[in-house]
Structure 1
Amino acid sequence: MLPAGSVSQLHRIPCAETWHFYMGEPLTVFELHDDGHIEFAVLGPDLDAGHRLQYTVPPNVWFGSFPTLDVVSFASNGSILVKAPKRDPELHYSLVGCTCAPAFQFEDFELATHSELKVLAPNAEPFLDYLILPS
């Protein structure tokens, strides 16, 4: 469960990770690839609006997620991020699950650092600031 006001920090693993939407509000998965390009996928119940019920992040791609409605607007290159006013996390949340193949091994988990990813995607600093918590 990802309540409003929280994020899943940018990280990567060497296996594919499939996200499954179960209930609540939509959730956005942010991906940063080694060539610096960024992709967004929205998991949610509104298929007519382009939401997906499941989405697979490829192996070795930096990714994180956030409740979609916590952000009012953003640029597709990550250079702009406008947050929504704070929302009650008891009422606003996304319930998702993840499946990894091959199996997830915690020792393979790599948490992103701001300095490392700023070199990869210098224009995406607003998203890096949002999805990488200070160490």
Structure 2
Amino acid sequence: MLQSGNVSRLHRIPCAETWHFYLGEPLTIVELDEKDGKLKLTCLGPDLGDNQQVQYTVPPYVWFGAFPTKDFHISSDGRAAKAEPRDAECHYSLVGCTCAPAFQFQDFELGKHSELVSTFPNYEPIISFLTNTD
């Protein structure tokens, strides 16, 4: 469960990770791919008519994190603005993840702010709220 006010920090793993939406409010998955240097945003949620998906697979070795969609306003160029705080008890996203091949914790790599900003300088605002500053 990812409650309002919390994020899943940018990280990467060497396997595909499929996210499944179960309940609550929409969640946005953020991807930063070193191959093309691009930012990709995917919204998981119950409203398929509003461009939300109930599941999505992040490819191996791609930096990714997530946040409750209504917590931030993200422009197509990666600029981020925080929305008004919301009650975490009432505003949350319940999701699950499946990895293939199996997840091994020793393969988990947490993103470092300075390294990610160096690699993706155009996306510093979004990187800042999805990493701990070094």
TM more than 0.5:
yes
Give the C-alpha shift of residue 134 in structure 1: 3.0
Q: Give a deviation string over 1:34-72, Cα, whole Å, max 9, x none.
A: 03101000000000001000000000000000000001x
Q: Is the 8 A contact 1:37 1:77 kept in 2?
A: no
Aligned residue type for 2:94: L
> 1: distance between equivalents of 2:97 and 2:132?
22
Deviations 1:3-27, CA, capped at 9 Å, x for gaps: 0000000000000000000000000
Matched, 1:9 2:9: yes
Q: Give TM-score scaled by structure 2 length.
A: 0.97
- Distance in 1, Cα, partners of 2:3 & 2:74: 20
- Runs of 4+ more than 4 Å apart: none
| CA deviation map 1:57-100 (0-9, x unaligned) | 000000000000001x222231x111110000000000000000
2:26 alignment partner in structure 1: 26
Give 5+ residue unaligned stretches, structure 2: none
* Structure 1 letter corresponding to 2:16: A
| Structure 1 segments unaligned to the other structure (5+ residues) | none
Note the aligned Cα RMSD (angstroms). Answer: 0.8
Number of aligned positions between the proteins: 133
SS in 2 for 1:100: strand
Higher mean C-alpha displacement, 120-129 vs 105-114 = 120-129
2:90 matched residue in structure 1? 91
Q: Secondary structure at the match of 2:118?
A: helix
Q: Answer yes or no: is 1:82 the counterpart of 2:81.
A: yes
Q: Please, what TM-score do these two structures have when normalized by structure 1?
A: 0.96
